[in-house]
Structure formats: C-alpha cells, structure tokens
Homo-oligomer: A and B are copies of this chain.
Amino acid sequence: MEYTKFMADRVKTMKGSAIREMFKRMADPEIISLAGGNPASELFPGDELSKIAGKILMTNPTLALQYGTTDGYPKMKDCARKRAEKVNSVGENDEILIMTGANQGIDLTAKAVLNKGDKVIVESPSFIGSLNAFRTYEAELVGVTVEADGMNMDELEETLKNTDGVKMIYTIPTFQNPTGCTMSLEKRKRMLEIASKYDVLILEDNPYGDLRFAGEDVPTIKSLDTEDRVVYAGSFSKILSPGMRLGYIVAPAPLAEKIEMLKQVNDVHTPMITQLMCVEFMKKYDIDKYIAKNRELYGKKCAAMVSAMEKYFPQGKVKWVVPEGGIFLWCECPTIEDITPIVDKCLEKKVAIVPGSNFATDIYAPSNMFRLNYSSATIENIEEGVRRLGEVLTEML
C-alpha cells in the first residue's frame, strides 16, 4: 500500500532528528558521546526514589495507579509552583499545568497558539525538539542571531518590524541549547519591551536555569513580565530525572485552559507514580542540595572540557564561549563552511559531536559549528573525547 496520500502535509517532509540517527550509529560502545543532552546519571537519587516509589505503591496503590486529573496532581502542582516561584515566575493571573516533560508543554503551547503559516521567532540556533514541534503546526520559523549575551535585540526588532504574522517569540534565555549562552538582564528587559510594542507572546523555556556553576543568576523573563505576556516552561529533567518526564507550564489562565484541553486529548494526564515520586522526594529531601551537587559536578566537567579543548584543539581555528552553567558548549570553525566531514571523521575516530545544522531554522544550510555536551560523559571520557576530536580538527582545519 502507498501511504503518502494518507499523510498530513505537516509530516510529509518531516525529517527525524539527525541527532537520533547519530545515536543509532553510536551503538558501538567504544564511541565516546559528546553529542547528547543527557544529565549526569551518576548522581541520580536511585536509592531514595526506590524507597519512595515502593512506599507509595504499597500504601496508596489507588492514588498511584488510578486515573488522575489533566492539570496535574495538586501536590505536584505545588512542587512546580515552588520551583517557579523560586525564580519569581508565577504571576497572579497564571495557572500551572503539569506536563509529561517540558517538551510536551512547548508542543501543546504551540498547538494552542499557532495556525498554519503563523510565524514564530526563534533563536538561531535553537533546540531542535522545539523547532520541530513548531514545524508540525506548519508554522514558519524566523531565526534571530544568538550572541554571547543572548538574542540580538536590534535584529529582533528589525525582524518584527518587517515580518507580518508573528505570534510568538521562543527563547531559552539561560544556558541556551545549543550555544550555552545566557541572555543579559538588559536584553531580557528589551525583549519584553519589543514583544509589547509588536504585541507578540513570549515562550520562555528554562530547563537549565538551576544549573549555574559560575557568575550571577539573571532574573527570568517571566519574572520581569508586567503584562502576562510570557508563558514559562519549567522542567524536572535536569534537576531530578529526565526519564521520569516531568515538566510544567506557567501560563495566563485563558491560555492555560486551552493547553489543558489539548493535554486532555493528548495523554489525558501525566503518569501518577512519577508525580507522586517527585512530590515525596521534594518533601523528604532538599532538592536544592541535590541540584547543588549536580552544579558542582557540571562545573568540574565543563572545566575539564575547556582545558582539554585548550590543550588539543588547533590554536586559533576554533572559537567558543565558556558557559556559566547548563550542559552545552558551542564551537565555531570560522575557516570552513561545512562541519559535516569533520563530524563524520569524528565518528570514525569514535567520538560523537552534533553538527550545527541540526539547530538551524534551515536544516539544509551548511554550518561550520558543532555542539558539545559535558554533563553526560565522565571526566576521563571528556578528556579522551576532546583529544580525539582535537586530532580530527588539527588534521582537517
């Protein structure tokens, strides 16, 4: 049978994530992956969550195993609220919705907002999962350059001035994926002014905000928002466990109501046991202490990566900005046009990195950039991986 005629336009030309394709090639256990976005698993609180899950299912099986409500288990909503309030990101007109990962919140916010042909301004480069979510609603992506201190605001204003049909700006202002860059306070304020002037929504995605290991915290855009213009997506993936798929959305009530209806027809509700585990973990343990351990580890791993890069990369041929938190480091090779042959050669040498084209609004345009991750591998593997990468770069640049 021929299935193309049954396919919706939105999926006909859709390409799977090239990162996932690369993961398939990475089954080889000798490959050191600097490619993924996995948080460090060595700190996962398995023992604590084991006791917690065991006890919940033993003492309250009905709550843990029966249907729950779409907006989230009330105490889990309180946990999400606490995290969001810690960064002053819950306005009085906002509702909180628990999501099966923040990605679901971004997907369903896009579904609630975007008609075919509507435009979304995104950082260029940006997180492929969100860009692909927007693409599935047949929205047009308009990229605005990310600089070391965040999105270029003049370019943003110019773009809004010259572009009709923009409904939303999507931003990861803190420790951005893939660049690791953080938007300055000034730029955050300016973004709110521009969004107000051109009357567009802001979707602020903040999965890495808790992972600062250097410098000073910058307020979230949501915390500076006086017009209820910002939808805020938070996540437990990088501060507790990504495999539990727990995130949340803070959104003005009229939008939250629609997003909740879309969740109702999507997965009905987020699994109860993962919500209950998170609630109990936050009740019994100080999650900020746990996060602090992660931050410390990521700081060390980042430093190890940067020092290996300084040692093994060909001098003056690769540019990067040292991140102050998060899990990614972004590199540019100004002397070449296309990083693809280097990425392929790296796989031969058993080290995996992600080519920059994956994060672009135009995934077919060549890119001379690549993303490195330092949260997942051990320090030893980071050093060896960067050494292998340095060999390839020295040979090919």
- Taking Cβ atoms with an 8 Å cutoff, the residues of A that contact B are 1, 3-4, 6-11, 14, 16-17, 20, 36-39, 41, 44-47, 49-51, 53-58, 60-68, 70, 99-101, 103-104, 107, 111-116, 118, 129-130, 132-133, 136-137, 167-168, 201, 227-229, 241-245, 252, 254-255, 257-258, 260-262, 264-274, 277
Tell me if B44 and A62 are in contact (CB < 8 A): yes
Copies of this chain: 2
Supply 13 further A-B pairs (C-beta < 8 A) apart from A1-B252, A37-B67.
A3-B255, A8-B111, A8-B113, A8-B137, A11-B258, A14-B258, A44-B61, A46-B64, A49-B64, A50-B56, A64-B243, A132-B264, A245-B269
Residues of B within 8 A of A245 (CB): 100, 267-271
Provide a sorted-by-A list of 10 A–B residue pairs whose CB atoms are within 8 angstroms: A8-B137, A10-B111, A41-B61, A41-B65, A46-B65, A47-B58, A100-B245, A101-B268, A245-B267, A245-B268
Closest residue of chain B to A15, judged by CB?
A: B261
Closest residue of chain B to A73, judged by CB?
A: B243
Residues of B within 8 A of A115 (CB): 8-10
Q: Would you give the shortest CB distance from A67 to chain B, in whole angstroms?
A: 5
A325 to B205, CA, bound (A): 46
Q: Which of B7, B104, B264 contacts A113 (CB 8 A)?
A: B7
Tell me if A264 and B129 are in contact (CB < 8 A): yes
Tell me if A100 and B267 are in contact (CB < 8 A): yes
Given that A61-B44, A244-B65, A261-B11 are known contacts, is A111 also in contact with B129, CB under 8 Å in the complex?
no
Residues of B within 8 A of A264 (CB): 16-17, 20, 129, 132
Q: Would you give the shortest CB distance from A274 to chain B, in whole angstroms?
A: 5
Given that A101-B267, A267-B245 are known contacts, is A51 also in contact with B53, CB under 8 Å in the complex?
no
The 5 closest A-B pairs by CB, nearest first: A46-B61, A54-B54, A50-B57, A243-B272, A65-B241
Residues of B within 8 A of A50 (CB): 53-58, 61
Tell me if B268 and A229 are in contact (CB < 8 A): no
Q: Would you give the shortest CB distance from A156 to chain B, in whole angstroms?
A: 18
Q: Which of B4, B54, B104, B229 contacts A266 (CB 8 A)?
A: B104
Q: Would you give the shortest CB distance from A174 to chain B, in whole angstroms?
A: 20
Q: Which of B1, B41, B107, B132 contacts A66 (CB 8 A)?
A: B41
Closest residue of chain B to A229, judged by CB?
A: B1
Residues of B within 8 A of A118 (CB): 8
